[in-house]
Structure 1
Amino acid sequence: MKISTTGSVKTSLLSPDTLKKSLNKHVLEIILIIIVVAMAFASSGFLTTDNLLNILRNMAMQGCIAFGMTMVIIAGEIDLSIGSTVAITGVIVGLVSGNLSSSGVMSMDAAVVVGIIASFLVAGLIGLFNGWILTKYKVPSFIITLAMLNVIYGIAAVLSKGFPVTTLPSWYNVFGAGEIFSIPIPAIILIVVFAVVLVIMNYTKFGRSVYAVGGNPESARLSGINVSRVKIICMVVVQLLSALSGILISSQVMSGSFNFGKGWEMIAISSVIIGGTSLFGGVGKVWGTFIGLIFLGVLINAMTLLNINEYVQYIVRGLLILVAVLITTIQLMKKRS
Structure 2
Amino acid sequence: MRTLTSTKLSSSSFDLKKKLNKHVLEIILLVIVIVMTFASSGFLTGENLLNILRNMALQGCIAFGMTIVIIAGEIDLSIGSTVALTGVIIGLTTGKLADAGMSMDVAVIVGILVSFIVAGLIGLFNGWILTKYKVPSFIITLAMLNVIYGIAAVISKGFPVTTLPSWYNVLGAGQIFSIPIPAIILLIVFAIIFVVMNYTTFGRSVYAVGGNPESARLSGIHVSRVKIICMVIVQLCSALSGVLVSSQVMSGSFNFGKGWEMIAISSVIIGGTSLFGGVGKVWGTFIGLIFLGVIINAMTLLNVNEYIQYIVRGLLILTAVLITTIQLMKKRN
TM above 0.5, one fold? yes
1:160 is aligned, of 149, 156, 177, to 156
TM-score by length of 2: 0.97
Match of 1:209 in 2: 205
Match of 2:98 in 1: 101
1:87 is aligned, of 84, 105, 114, to 84
Match of 1:308 in 2: 304
Give 1:46's aligned amino acid: F
Structure 2 unaligned regions, length at least 5: none
Offset from partner CA, 1:259-296 (integer Å, 9 cap, x none): 00000000000000000000000000000000000000
Cα distance in structure 1, aligned partners of 2:227 and 2:100: 41
Q: Does 1:34 align with 2:31?
A: yes
Match of 1:199 in 2: 195
Give 1:293's aligned amino acid: L
Q: Does 1:133 align with 2:125?
A: no
Give 2:60's aligned amino acid: G
User: Percent of pairs identical after alignment?
Assistant: 84
Offset from partner CA, 1:151-187 (integer Å, 9 cap, x none): 0000000011111000000000011000000000000
Give 2:259's aligned amino acid: G
Cα distance in structure 2, aligned partners of 1:167 and 1:13: 65
Structure 1 unaligned regions, length at least 5: none
1:18: Cα distance to partner?
2.1
1:103: Cα distance to partner?
2.4
Match of 1:151 in 2: 147
1:13: Cα distance to partner?
6.1
Match of 2:290 in 1: 294
Cα distance in structure 2, aligned partners of 1:13 and 1:77: 38
Q: Does 1:245 align with 2:249?
A: no
Give 1:222's aligned amino acid: L
What secondary structure is seen at the aligned counterpart in 2 of 1:163?
Answer: coil
Match of 2:21 in 1: 24
Cα distance in structure 2, aligned partners of 1:7 and 1:205: 44
1:303: Cα distance to partner?
0.2
Aligned residues: 331
Give 1:58's aligned amino acid: N
Runs of 4+ in 1 over 6 A off after TM superposition: 6-10
Give 1:263's aligned amino acid: G
Cα distance in structure 2, aligned partners of 1:207 and 1:282: 11
Q: Does 1:329 align with 2:320?
A: no
TM-score by length of 1: 0.96
2:59 is aligned, of 59, 62, 66, to 62
Give 1:83's aligned amino acid: G
